[in-house]
Amino acid sequence: MRQAYYNGIVYTGNQVLTHVAVLADGYQVLDIVPQDAIPEGFQQIDVQGNHIAPGLVDLQIYGGNGKLFSLYPDVSSLQATEQYSKEGGALYFQPTVATHEPALMEKALAAYRQYRDAGGQAAIGVHWEGPFLNPQKRGAHLEKYIRRLQKDEAKQLAQYHDALRMITLAPECCDAACVEILLQAGIRVSAGHSAATYAQAMQAFSQTGIRLATHLFNAMSPLQTREPGLAGAILDHPQVYASIIADGIHVHPANIRLSKAIMAERLFLITDAVEENKQGSSYIYLRQPDRFVNQEGTLAGSTLTMLKAVAFCVEQVGIPLDEALRMASWYPAKAIGLAHQIGLLQPGYRSGVIVFDKHFHLLHRSV
């Protein structure tokens, strides 16, 4: 049923409005009208002064609601992750698979296709985080699965472009020709889990056209006095977007504030959220009160939702709410090439609508 959300503060992504109503039909944003001019045929939802915003967009999440898509990639895991994402304000998400054997990573693509062909809309393609990483910066990824990307495999992966939307790789461990094959196929390539020098990173950004980086500051060569590393290159390159995990554990809030001041709209939020897994011989994720760790105690994921990440940016970093919302909706949409479809409350967009209160609790969503 078509819905009209009114009596709230509306964050369109371009403006902050009051005394208006947002008209929506599921994901479709139909119009924004004066709240005393809501057409007939709409379910009217009085949000009682709370916040109305476009659906948030999470480009890195491994599972949720008891299911871990990264290890058990099937439609039920996708559906559980979708529910977790939506409960946290993200009406779109990019299910992510950590470095693993090829058969499992390809199974994730098949599961996504099955989900999509059955009408699933929230998942917007699969993100492979690996396996083409630098072992020196593997973090919680298993070294036994890490390998170099070869040209023949790059050509094969290019054929998966309908399901494989993003690959995180270490640019210093991949030939530029391989990266170019992926980019030409429409697969987004993100630099991450990398020990690249500043010069190597800038060369990859400038010559191959990589325009993304995965979880700024985590699992990458750091900014140092005489070697800026990958982190410094990301800050310095004017066209590179980067995700960041805003939970106060992965990155100090001062580093979020500093990078935001430099990068502006190039910095966007992800959850990097996982789900507990105590079984199997590969990835073990153990839930702590505010994070996940592996069996060695290495930080392995967050307990974030996208609304929690927005809240952290507002309350702990000092970013204004309208800008923090853009970091969770409009900017990731731009980074992934969907800026013309999602991320704004604008007629013709398929952003969906969320409503949340001053404590960042989700009250309503249009899907």
- List the catalytic residues: 272
Sheet arrangement for strand 286-287: 286-287, 292-293, 299-301
The contacts of residue 145 (CB under 8 Å, 6+ apart) are 99, 100, 101, 130, 131
The contacts of residue 144 (CB under 8 Å, 6+ apart) are none
Both tokens of 290, joined, read: 């505010």
Burial class for 224, CB neighbours closer than 10 Å (0-12, 13-18, 19+): exposed
Torsion-angle region of 366 (φ positive above 0: left; ψ -120 to 50: alpha; else: beta): alpha
Q: At what angle do helices 229-236 and 253-263 cross, to 10 degrees?
A: 40
| 142 contacts 180 by C-beta, under 8 angstroms | no
Closest CA to 34 of 10, 54, 50, 13: 10
The contacts of residue 288 (CB under 8 Å, 6+ apart) are none
> What letter would DSSP give residue 265?
G
> What letter would DSSP give residue 215?
S
H or E element in which residue 178 lies: helix 176-184
H or E element in which residue 102 lies: helix 102-117
The contacts of residue 139 (CB under 8 Å, 6+ apart) are 193, 218, 219, 298, 299, 300
The amino acid that residue 344 corresponds to is L
d(CA 189, CA 322): 28
- Give the number of other Cβ atoms within 10 Å of residue 312's Cβ: 21
| 52 contacts 365 by C-beta, under 8 angstroms | no
